[in-house]
Amino acid sequence: MAVKIRLQRHGKKNFAFFHIVVADTHAPRDGRFIEQLGSYNPNTNPATIVLNEERALDWLKVGAETTLVTRRILSYEGILLRKHLDGGIAKGAITKEEADKRYADWKAHRDAKVNAKKEGIDKAAADKAKNAEEAEAKVNEARAEELAKKKAEVEEAARKAAEAAAAAKAAEEAAKAAEETDQAAEGAAETSEPASEEKPQA
């Protein structure tokens, strides 16, 4: 019976996650499996991988095949490197201590790259939030300036309207005063005309 290490799909549409399983090559993709080795969630950044490394290595040593994606996952987790180093130990090319040292060095280098990626993602998110906050502050400042300008324009228009009303009222009062002065002058003239028209008696 040919055996493969492959993915079994779970989750909802457009948000799938996968179980890493060992199954017969003739079994349906989401059908029966022999053993579950872990899970793979590509929806996070970086992807979340949970894997039983010892069992995966044991299955590889007894000839289990891998699909393209599971091979990449096993390579990412260092399972293929451990299989290669164990082969070197079996052939006598390297000692177990040297193999363990090589694997530990590789693991430390991989973890450093993963941590650097996480820090980069966090920094990018922080920079994006900061830029968004600065852009929002600029927009709010522009709106405040525009509101202040409109308020100043309204106040200036109100001041000019008040000045115009005051000038109109002053002009009206001046015209009324002039009219009253003219009426008083006309009244004085009317009272003085009969006295001037009287003739001296003989």
User: What is 3-94's CATH topology?
Assistant: S16 Ribosomal Protein; Chain: A; (3.30.1320)
Tokens of residue 101, six digits: 């040292």
pTM for the whole structure: 0.62
Tens-digit pLDDT profile for the chain (202 aa)?
A: 689 999 999 999 889 999 999 999 888 888 889 999 999 999 988 899 999 999 999 999 998 999 999 999 999 999 999 999 999 988 888 898 999 999 999 999 998 998 888 888 888 888 888 888 888 888 998 898 888 888 888 888 888 888 888 888 888 888 888 788 877 777 776 666 555 455 555 4
Q: Domain map of the chain by residue range?
A: 3-94
Tokens of residue 21, six digits: 């399983």
CB 34 within 8 A of CB 21: yes
Among 40, 32, 45, 38, smallest CA distance to 3 is for 32
* pLDDT score of 202: 47
* pLDDT score of 193: 57
Task: Count how many Cα atoms sit within 13 Å of the Cα of residue 86 in the half-sphere of its side chain.
Answer: 11
Place of tokens 């927009």: 139
* pLDDT score of 46: 85
- The CA radius of gyration of the chain, in Å to the nearest whole number, is 48
Place of tokens 């590889």: 60
Please give the biggest Cα pair distance in the chain.
Answer: 171
